[in-house]
Chains A and B, each alone.
Chain A
Amino acid sequence: MGKKVAGSGPCSRIPDNSAFKQQRLPAWSPSLTAETVLPFFYIIGLVCVLLGVALFLTVQKIQEIQVDYTTSGTCDACFEMRSNKMSASVKCRCSVDFSLKENFQEDVFLYYGLVNFHQNLRRYMDSRDDGQLVGRTTNLKNPSTYCEPFAYNNGTPIAPCGAIANSMFNDSFTLKYLPPTGGVVIVPFYRTGIAWYTDKNVKFRNPQIENELLPQVFQGTAQPFYWQKPVYELDPSDPNNNGFINEDFIVWMREAAFPSFKKLYGILNRQSKAIFEHGLPAGNYSVTISYNFPAQYFQGKKLVVLSTVSWFGGKNIFLPIAYIVTGGVILVVAVVLTVVYIKIGKKGLNMEE
């Protein structure tokens, strides 16, 4: 119904005179003028360069060492052994020596790394049952079809089911400090606190059945094919770190985005020994590996990584360099734009037909 306007009846079909209908809403019409664009470029360029430099300086302070232990040290024997499926259950231990050139300050993190291991394959990533992992008892005995062919072992449901769980990394490490004075000090690591809070407390839960202990709850399920022990015995040292909430398991279950990745294994326990109070001292170290995980099938490598972190993460040189380069390019472009604007730009606008 049209608004009543002088000269038109109430039934007039005249459209409303509202700003919206007449497309006259008050509006802000910005335009790209030199006054706004050029200062913006200078500011952004400067910000990027400064940020890049700051990041660069931070990264410089981070110490990191990577030790490839696939076949190095005494591990080539183990590597050969794991190539052979027949000897899959035979234990194999080996060690690799390395040295730290300087002290690793503050918190030191121990990672294991895998190269060329595709945790990001579609079928692989789908092959899990989050219902089972969050402790639903129905899913425990009836794993999702996504888990195939790792859902049942001769009719017995597998817990945890699926390809990811099945392929869980199962090497373990013992780091030994070899002080110049002689002797061997085992470096203590926290093996918990390495998973995300939400994973540990929400996403992964053990199935709960009243008055039943963990092994009883998992009664009637089979362990994954490649595992050497059931899920409720993953951490013999800490009964609360067993079942689906085992942190090594949780870390593994958070699939890496790229085929080469590292995952957190432990955090240096600085309290237990005075020598490690300020981190790892420089010197010789040896890492002993319980070598279980076969790498030759995927032509991969296995690494041990020791690293400190800063406020924005690990030793990541890409970000600071990228910032500095971007900032630099923007500054150069800003100068060019200024020149263009002063020399030619104004002329261009005045060229009228």
Chain B
Amino acid sequence: MLAVPDYPLGQHTLGQNSTKFPYCIYLQFHLYHDSSLLFCLFQDNHIKTSKYNIFTFLPINLFEQFQRVANAYFLFLLILQLIPQVSSLSWFTTIVPLALVLTITAVKDATDDYVKDMEGVQIISHCECFWSQGIIAVLVFGLPQADLLLLSSSEPYGLSYVETAELDGETNLKVRQALTVTSELGADIHKLAEFDGEVVCEPPNNKLDRFTGTLLWKDGKFPLDNGKLLLRGCVLRNTEWCFGMVIFAGLETKLMQNCGRTTFKRTSIDRLMNTLVLWIFGFLMCMGIILAIGNSVWEKSVGGNFRKLYLPWDEVLSDAFFSGFLTFWSYIIILNTVVPISLYVSVEVIRLGHSYFINWDRRMYQAQRDTPAEARTTTLNEELGQVEYIFSDKTGTLTQNIMVFSKCSINGKIYDSADAPRRLIPKKTPCVDFSFNPLRDRRFRFHDHSLLEAMKLDETAVREFFRLLALCHTVMPEEKMEGELVYQAQSPDEGALVTAARNFGFVFRARTPETITVYELGKAVTYQLLAILDFNNVRKRMSVIVRNPQGRARLYCKGADTILFDRLEPASEELLCTTSEHLNVRFAGEGLRTLALAYRDLDEDFFQGWMQRLREACSLVEKREDLLASLYEEMEREMTLLGATAIEDKLEQGVAETIACLTLASIKIWVLTGDKMETAINIAYSCNMLRDDMNELLEQGKEEDPNCLPSGPDCCVVLSLQAHALEADLEGLLLDTACLCRTVICCRVTPLQKAQVVELVKRRRRAVTLAIGDGANDVSMIKTAHIGVGISGQEGMQAVLASDYSFAQFRHLQRLLLVHGRWSYFRMCNFLCYFFYKNFAFTLVHFWFGFFCGFSAQTVYDQWFITLFNIVYTSLPVLAMGLFDQDVNEKNSIRFPKLYEPGQLNLLFNKRQFFLCSLQGAYTSFTLFFIPYGALYHGVRDDGANVTDQQSFAVTIATSLFVILICFQIGLDTNYWTAINHFYIWGSLAVYFSILFAMHSNGIFGIFPSQFPFIGTARSSLSQPVVWLVILLTTVVCVAPVLVVRFLRADLYPTQTDKVKCVTSGVCEACPNG
């Protein structure tokens, strides 16, 4: 860590809370324009993920809540109820539940927001020192929190190394170099303090790989490009410290520009519910109009005469039309319970419960990182059961970003470390013991002992093989303490190869521009480095020319097999066949990254001549590249093949199985990565997303010719996206092509493009999308997708902060979707069906009664029953069902991924299901009204007294309704009766009867005679056999048809669930899905 002296703070009082950052140095400085300066001065750099603060909370939250159609509607009802001529129900029947709902939701929102906010703060404050309101930042080995212009660093020439995996998914180290003039500033605080350069640059934008600007300093103009910039989100590596000047901060950083907007996510069920509420409202209107017309007609024909004598209204009210108008509103109030407010509370509670179950799941806990899964948003759970498309990041999500030397073929012989993840590791094979080698890397594992034996037996080919690996690379060694070597590789592949050579006894130890020192089995050998023929994407190979201590020059070359095999000497023919068979049969298809290795002994004269021409070529200005390429071509010929290596890009645990399982569940997985196409393809092979038998279709995104589109389901597409591929006219084509294919991989996508791809699928396919990623470059797609999942427990937390769910490993996705998602969806749908059914049955009784009470908006039930029905009497059993029900247990949910399909097809709750539920509700209400009507019309008690009075009728209907709903319908809908379900169901029954008797008791009537006029009704009517006979008959008539339909459906058209249930219960012998 850089020791920064306690610098006198407060000289330039730029930010009032500057004392929070004692390590930061503030300097007077000009930015590229003034407004931006102000912006920089006062912009809080903390990523703002929270929506509210204390003052804005109430208005914003209430505004948001009343945006829900339902809440606004209840407010409207409440106002209606306050008009005495209209009010058919007391105002408390609405305000109590409404207040309850608003409070619960507000508290929940506030907690959510607070938790998010706190996490944001934690992330920021754990960095050692970061950019603050000041203008110049000191970085101490960490993550820059702003886009910085690199001024100087601890490394020579103002170099610094950064890893940009968070930004673009590329894993190799990248070099950033400061301008020479500024790198001279070094770590001299005083000089830095006097730095007064001015940067003129382009406005903030989201292009990660481009930057143009000019630094004006000391009367000089210095051009700036991307190579001098440290972007927020990248990680500083191998660089102790560096100084930078803030170019963009806060929202202006390229990272934040790529983040997309935070939007309020809604599930499709939510949207459906809003639509249904509108429908129901329309339905209410219709019923209201019918009843209002009925009222007008009744007033004209019957009521007017009746009322003249018995109920003279005010003059105004006696007009039949006006009376109908008032009745309309009265009925709107009475019938509003079709969509009770408690629906929304219950939905929230159920979702919250499901979120807790996700948090509590031990099988989504990762021990190494001590990370449990976390549902960061509690409103999206049921959508987890409907996912059709998964968009996955590659690096850090599918792969661990660790390269492992796993196999090699040397001189026609295969050495195979059985450490391949998808095979059973033979437990008997212990790791090769490298203890003879004091310079070994202790983390290196290899399982094939024969390779070490071959090495010890002094097989030339094997030794040459490892010598090549130790020499031919661009790795930088770092030896902080004697014997503790650390390699700094630009690409992890190279690191893996050099490490392998190191453990097998060819330890690359030091490098100067002219020499390479290798400890060959303990002996130090220094090679003269004559030339490096570096790697590029066209050549796909790199070579070094070294002279060994004996004075012989030799070319060592490694590169793609296809390229290298064309450049071998004819004598290698036989070896070539064996090796290429190894490559194609043994290595390929496992997604291993392969390289072929070869060498060439150089003739001294030829070499000197070539060297001469190389020097000349280097000094050329024009056509240098071409000339160099042909010179390299000339040198890399007639080589002798040594063998091939295979490197495994280690997948995260269980990735391939998870992908296979999710594919079986008809979920399409697209890989979106900023990485190179080759790497992406390798990974796709190793996770079984690509197979050899697939038609590979490489799209460069440039010329897309609709005629050459592939067809057939067995193809895959690899897209290398260019900016215009997502333009309006091409996107349709792109999507159609992609959707024809089984596997889609998009490479070279910028974070914003990731979001665009997700958006495209979301918009055009109307499918539920899930994006999973771990880095800052995934934030935009995580925010865009219906569901965003962040991989937690790693360095960057930005993906997690933006995500809706987070867990430690990709494989947990399987459980999140197939178990939690499926259950959530199933439970929510079941819950909604039951809930709509319940309330239709409950409410429509009023409609039927309207025809008997002169359409006067008289309620059938006691007002207390109406108030308590949804919040007390019937809420808990259905909540228990919504929280705990399981149609199929977790084991079978995973075993039969097909069970996931109903969610994708939206089968369990849709408009049709809603219609059926409402119809069933209407039927129940019909029987519920007319059977008691028929039976009690002329009924009397056994002592001759009346039982047809309105109060007895109310109690009879309420009790029948209750018995049907609570004892039977919920029983039929519950698949998994835990003790809690029993408790709630029987408890509700007990509560109903105790409250009923309490409210009809003498005591409470004695205190509030006007509020509890039902005194004695429960006793009088429920002691009558005729009432119970009516209840029994109503129940049988309501429940029997449901039972018949369910039985027939399970019997004749069994769903997957029925089959699985049947098989697992042992009743059936059939085996679903073979």
Instruction: Spell out A's residues near B (CB within 8 Å).
Output: 7-8, 12-17, 21-23, 25-34, 37, 40-41, 44, 48, 51, 55, 107, 109, 116-125, 127, 129-131, 133-134, 136, 144, 149, 163, 166-167, 194-199, 202-203, 251, 254-264, 267, 294, 297-299, 307, 309-316, 318-319, 322-323, 326, 330, 333, 337, 340-341, 344-345, 348-350, 352-353
Given contacts A202-B1016, A345-B1051, contact A318 B937 (CB under 8 A): yes
Q: How distant is the Cα of A330 from the Cα of B935 in the complex, in angstroms?
A: 20
Taking the complex as formed, is B947 at the interface, i.e. its CB lies under 8 A from any CB of chain A? yes
Nearest CB in chain B to that of A253: its residue: B949
Q: How distant is the Cα of A310 from the Cα of B942 in the complex, in angstroms?
A: 6
Beyond A27-B886, A121-B856, 20 additional pairs, beta carbon < 8 A? A13-B371, A14-B362, A14-B367, A15-B360, A15-B361, A17-B362, A23-B884, A23-B890, A119-B950, A163-B310, A163-B311, A257-B852, A297-B305, A298-B309, A319-B1029, A326-B1037, A330-B1036, A330-B1040, A352-B1070, A353-B1073
Do the beta carbons of A144 and B1010 come within 8 Å of each other? yes
Do the beta carbons of A124 and B311 come within 8 Å of each other? yes
Do the beta carbons of A22 and B362 come within 8 Å of each other? yes
Taking the complex as formed, is B233 at the interface, i.e. its CB lies under 8 A from any CB of chain A? no
| A and B contact pairs by CB, cutoff 8 A, 6 listed | A21-B357, A48-B1033, A120-B950, A307-B940, A322-B935, A344-B1051
Do the beta carbons of B362 and A316 come within 8 Å of each other? no
Do the beta carbons of A122 and B948 come within 8 Å of each other? no
Do the beta carbons of A14 and B944 come within 8 Å of each other? no
Q: Pick the interface stretch among B156-164, B442-450, B632-640, B1042-1050.
A: B1042-1050
Given contacts A15-B360, A32-B1050, A122-B88, contact A256 B1010 (CB under 8 A): no
Q: How distant is the Cα of A44 from the Cα of B1015 in the complex, in angstroms?
A: 35
Report B-chain residues with C-beta under 8 Å of the C-beta of A120: 852-854, 856, 858, 950
Question: Of B309, B359, B1053, which one neighbours A294 at CB under 8 angstroms?
Answer: B309
B42-81 contact mask (Cβ, 8 Å, vs A): 1 or 0 = 0000000000000000000000000000000000000000
Do the beta carbons of A44 and B1040 come within 8 Å of each other? yes
Q: How distant is the Cα of A315 from the Cα of B935 in the complex, in angstroms?
A: 10
Q: Pick the interface stretch among B219-227, B581-589, B871-879, B972-980.
A: B972-980
Question: Of A25, A27, A118, A337, which one neighbours B853 at CB under 8 angstroms?
Answer: A118
Question: Of B302, B311, B944, B1044, which one neighbours A337 at CB under 8 angstroms?
Answer: B1044
Q: How distant is the Cα of A184 from the Cα of B865 in the complex, in angstroms?
A: 53
Report B-chain residues with C-beta under 8 Å of the C-beta of A121: 303, 311, 853-854, 856, 858
Q: How distant is the Cα of A326 from the Cα of B954 in the complex, in angstroms?
A: 24
Taking the complex as formed, is B370 at the interface, i.e. its CB lies under 8 A from any CB of chain A? yes
Ordered nearest first, which 8 A-B pairs have the shortest CB separation?
A198-B1016, A21-B360, A298-B306, A257-B953, A345-B1051, A109-B944, A318-B934, A122-B858
Given contacts A122-B857, A194-B945, contact A344 B1005 (CB under 8 A): no
Do the beta carbons of A312 and B942 come within 8 Å of each other? yes
Q: Pick the interface stretch among B417-425, B515-523, B1061-1069.
A: B1061-1069
CB of A187 to closest CB in B, whole Å? 16
Do the beta carbons of A196 and B1047 come within 8 Å of each other? no
Taking the complex as formed, is B213 at the interface, i.e. its CB lies under 8 A from any CB of chain A? no
Q: How distant is the Cα of A144 from the Cα of B1010 in the complex, in angstroms?
A: 10
Given contacts A15-B362, A350-B1070, contact A7 B367 (CB under 8 A): yes
Do the beta carbons of B1019 and A255 come within 8 Å of each other? no
Taking the complex as formed, is B1072 at the interface, i.e. its CB lies under 8 A from any CB of chain A? yes
Nearest CB in chain B to that of A194: its residue: B945
B984-1025 contact mask (Cβ, 8 Å, vs A): 1 or 0 = 000000000000000000100110011001011001100011
Q: How distant is the Cα of A51 from the Cα of B1036 in the complex, in angstroms?
A: 13
Report B-chain residues with C-beta under 8 Å of the C-beta of A13: 365, 370-372
Nearest CB in chain A to that of B934: its residue: A318
Report B-chain residues with C-beta under 8 Å of the C-beta of A319: 934-935, 1026, 1029-1030, 1033
Do the beta carbons of A348 and B1051 come within 8 Å of each other? yes
Given contacts A15-B372, A122-B858, A318-B934, contact A267 B944 (CB under 8 A): yes
Report A-chain residues with C-beta under 8 Å of the C-beta of B1054: 348-349
Do the beta carbons of B1010 and A337 come within 8 Å of each other? no
Q: How distant is the Cα of A166 from the Cα of B310 in the complex, in angstroms?
A: 8
Do the beta carbons of A16 and B360 come within 8 Å of each other? yes
Report A-chain residues with C-beta under 8 Å of the C-beta of B3: none
Q: How distant is the Cα of A311 from the Cα of B975 in the complex, in angstroms?
A: 40
Nearest CB in chain A to that of B857: its residue: A122
Do the beta carbons of A350 and B311 come within 8 Å of each other? no
Instruction: Spell out B's residues near A (CB within 8 Å).
Output: 88, 302-303, 305-306, 308-313, 330, 357, 359-362, 365, 367, 370-372, 823, 852-854, 856-858, 884, 886, 890, 931, 933-954, 972, 975-981, 1002, 1005-1006, 1009-1010, 1013, 1015-1016, 1019-1020, 1024-1026, 1029-1030, 1033, 1036-1037, 1040, 1043-1044, 1046-1048, 1050-1054, 1058-1059, 1061-1062, 1065, 1067-1068, 1070-1074
Question: Of B854, B890, B946, B1005, which one neighbours A203 at CB under 8 angstroms?
Answer: B1005
Nearest CB in chain B to that of A334: its residue: B1044
Nearest CB in chain B to that of A310: its residue: B942
Question: Of A27, A51, A352, which one neighbours B976 at CB under 8 angstroms?
Answer: A27
Do the beta carbons of B302 and A116 come within 8 Å of each other? yes
Do the beta carbons of A118 and B306 come within 8 Å of each other? yes
Do the beta carbons of B949 and A352 come within 8 Å of each other? no
Do the beta carbons of A22 and B1015 come within 8 Å of each other? no
CB of B1052 to closest CB in A, whole Å? 5
Do the beta carbons of B1025 and A254 come within 8 Å of each other? no
Given contacts A33-B1067, A255-B950, contact A297 B306 (CB under 8 A): yes
Do the beta carbons of B1009 and A134 come within 8 Å of each other? yes
Q: How distant is the Cα of A261 from the Cα of B949 in the complex, in angstroms?
A: 9
CB of A316 to closest CB in B, whole Å? 5
CB of A326 to closest CB in B, whole Å? 6
CB of A51 to closest CB in B, whole Å? 8
Given contacts A13-B372, A118-B306, A256-B948, contact A314 B939 (CB under 8 A): yes
CB of A88 to closest CB in B, whole Å? 10
CB of B640 to closest CB in A, whole Å? 51
Q: Report which residue of B936, B1009, B1024, B1062 has the largest number of chain A beta carbons within 10 angstroms of its beta carbon.
A: B1009
Q: How distant is the Cα of A297 from the Cα of B308 in the complex, in angstroms?
A: 8
CB of A153 to closest CB in B, whole Å? 14
Q: Report which residue of A55, A144, A198, A310 has the largest number of chain B beta carbons within 10 angstroms of its beta carbon.
A: A198
Report A-chain residues with C-beta under 8 Å of the C-beta of B1025: 311-312
CB of A258 to closest CB in B, whole Å? 5
Nearest CB in chain B to that of A119: its residue: B950
Do the beta carbons of A352 and B1071 come within 8 Å of each other? yes
Do the beta carbons of B362 and A129 come within 8 Å of each other? no
Report B-chain residues with C-beta under 8 Å of the C-beta of A109: 940, 944
Q: How distant is the Cα of A98 from the Cα of B220 in the complex, in angstroms?
A: 127
Nearest CB in chain A to that of B974: its residue: A30
Q: How distant is the Cα of A353 from the Cα of B901 in the complex, in angstroms?
A: 14
Report B-chain residues with C-beta under 8 Å of the C-beta of A195: 945
Do the beta carbons of B1068 and A31 come within 8 Å of each other? no
Report B-chain residues with C-beta under 8 Å of the C-beta of A309: 940-944
Do the beta carbons of B1010 and A129 come within 8 Å of each other? yes
Q: How distant is the Cα of A322 from the Cα of B998 in the complex, in angstroms?
A: 33
Do the beta carbons of B1033 and A322 come within 8 Å of each other? yes
Do the beta carbons of A344 and B1052 come within 8 Å of each other? yes
Q: How distant is the Cα of A251 from the Cα of B944 in the complex, in angstroms?
A: 12
Do the beta carbons of B856 and A123 come within 8 Å of each other? yes
Do the beta carbons of B1002 and A256 come within 8 Å of each other? no
Question: Of A14, A30, A259, A307, which one neighbours B977 at CB under 8 angstroms?
Answer: A30
Report B-chain residues with C-beta under 8 Å of the C-beta of A258: 852, 933, 937, 948
Do the beta carbons of B947 and A313 come within 8 Å of each other? yes
Do the beta carbons of A254 and B949 come within 8 Å of each other? yes
Do the beta carbons of B302 and A340 come within 8 Å of each other? no
Q: Report which residue of B305, B361, B1051 has the largest number of chain A beta carbons within 10 angstroms of its beta carbon.
A: B1051
Do the beta carbons of B854 and A348 come within 8 Å of each other? no
Given contacts A14-B365, A17-B362, A202-B1002, contact A313 B951 (CB under 8 A): no
CB of B402 to closest CB in A, whole Å? 23
Do the beta carbons of A31 and B306 come within 8 Å of each other? no
Do the beta carbons of A22 and B361 come within 8 Å of each other? yes
